[in-house]
Structure 1
Amino acid sequence: MSRTERRPEDDPRFQRVRASLIEAVTALAAEKPSEDISVSELTARAGISRTTFYKHADSPSQFLAGYLIEQIRPVMEPMTTLLEVESQDYLLRWRDIMIALLEHVHENPNIYSHVFIGEGESVVLSILTRYFEHVYAGYVEDFAAHVGDESATELWKAMATSQQVHNLIAIIGSWLRTGMVDSPEVVVSTYMSLAPPWQLAKFSPTGRTSLRRNRVVASLLEGISNDDDGHL
């Protein structure tokens, strides 16, 4: 009979140290950007050694980003399967996810202000962006599988994924810059007035949708296509 291998994360001491680190890093990250938090400062606040810290992360920024993603994941992961449940109310479920994410940001305004609107390049934001890319790639693939009138090309999916990631960063950043005076519901409603048409698509009873373009866009694209045909 083989013994089950025990993971370090299952050790009570590991969990206690991690809890101390979370308390310390969130307190410090509310005061200043994580890039300005030294390992010595963090370990002193957490009451642990540097050697112990490096068993958990390579830097304070990496540790903070990992913790934030853990908090965000239960909210964001359903985004990748929105259309697998019931396509008819997918926008309502999308709206609920966005509101829940903004409520999480609202609970940690100082931390997220340093991440999204601080000066210089945020390491935490870079890590969060990669996570958002993963989530939205799944969301776009899920949507593309329901397109009926034409195929969503790889280029379309790549653009749509990048679009969603940058839109999310803009939503959170704009909300923080305006003092978070509007409710998450208002923020989401405001975004929906600016959202790309495909994201607001309606679905048929069979769960299919279209990438139909309005006449102005269709005419523009036709003109570009004709112009390309006349040039090498």
Structure 2
Amino acid sequence: MNLDDPRVQRTRARLREAILELVAEQDLDAITISAVAKRAGINRATVYQHYPDVHALVVDAMDGPIAEVARAVRVCPADAPPDRAPEALAGLFEHIAARAAVYRCALGDQGSAGFAGRMREQVTAALAERFHEGKRPAGFDDVPVDVHAAYLAGALLGVVTHWITGERPAPASELAAAFWRLFRA
């Protein structure tokens, strides 16, 4: 399959959109390839030409949201005042809150390790890039950049997962402020 073919790109876009809609409506375990095909308006066999199962489709569909998380991390100023979360971080938590059902599916108990791994890797890379550019919090020169970046990416992923899978998630603004206080510590 040629992923550069516009027909393939359109089909995959329809499948990604369909799975994200379905995940927002029901548990991932209840979603079948047939349901995805019906929602996308394509043949079930076509789905299998692109993805082996629903989980692989979810991981692929979440590439855009993962990129949004990494972008927010990349532009978040490390030297912002400790008493208020930077706008980019607040925006990141708002982005996640607006898509909570999808993130809950991807990061919760029924989620995919592939999604969490991709998110962690992209956020780690974004942080490492910033740190190499000299935009690193002070006081950590004795810690290798990649270790520092991985630590913070894991912390962000852990906080987000705890937040969106909790019984009563706090407002995004509260979580952004709490994470920022922890990040600045």
CA 66–91 in structure 1, closer or farther in 2 if over 3 Å, else same: farther
Count, aligned residues: 179
Which residue is 1:32 aligned to? 27
Contact 2:15–2:36 (CA<8 Å) still a contact in 1? yes
Which residue is 1:7 aligned to? 4
For structure 2, the residue ranges without an aligned partner over 5 or more in a row are: none
Q: Distance in 1 between matches of 2:23 and 2:123?
A: 25
TM-score (norm 2): 0.72
Which residue is 1:45 aligned to? 39
Contact 1:75–1:100 (CA<8 Å) still a contact in 2? no
CA 95–61 in structure 1, closer or farther in 2 if over 3 Å, else same: farther
Which residue of the other structure, out of 97, 107, 123, is the alignment partner of 1:116? Answer: 107
Contact 2:96–2:103 (CA<8 Å) still a contact in 1? yes
Taking the TM superposition and a 5 Å limit, the aligned residue runs for 1:1-232 are 7-8=4-5, 10-11=6-7, 14-15=9-10, 17-30=11-24, 31-33=26-28, 35-77=29-71, 79-80=73-74, 89=80, 95-119=86-110, 122-123=111-112, 125-144=113-132, 146=134, 151-152=141-142, 156-176=144-164, 177-182=166-171, 184-195=172-183, 197=185
Q: Which amino acid aligns with 1:166?
A: G
For structure 1, the residue ranges without an aligned partner over 5 or more in a row are: 198-232
Q: Secondary structure at the match of 1:54?
A: helix
Contact 2:120–2:150 (CA<8 Å) still a contact in 1? no
Percent same amino acid among aligned pairs? 18
Q: Distance in 2 between matches of 1:150 and 1:64?
A: 36
CA 26–134 in structure 1, closer or farther in 2 if over 3 Å, else same: closer
Q: Distance in 2 between matches of 1:150 and 1:99?
A: 24
Q: Distance in 2 between matches of 1:38 and 1:90?
A: 47
Q: Distance in 2 between matches of 1:133 and 1:6?
A: 23
Q: Distance in 2 between matches of 1:26 and 1:134?
A: 20
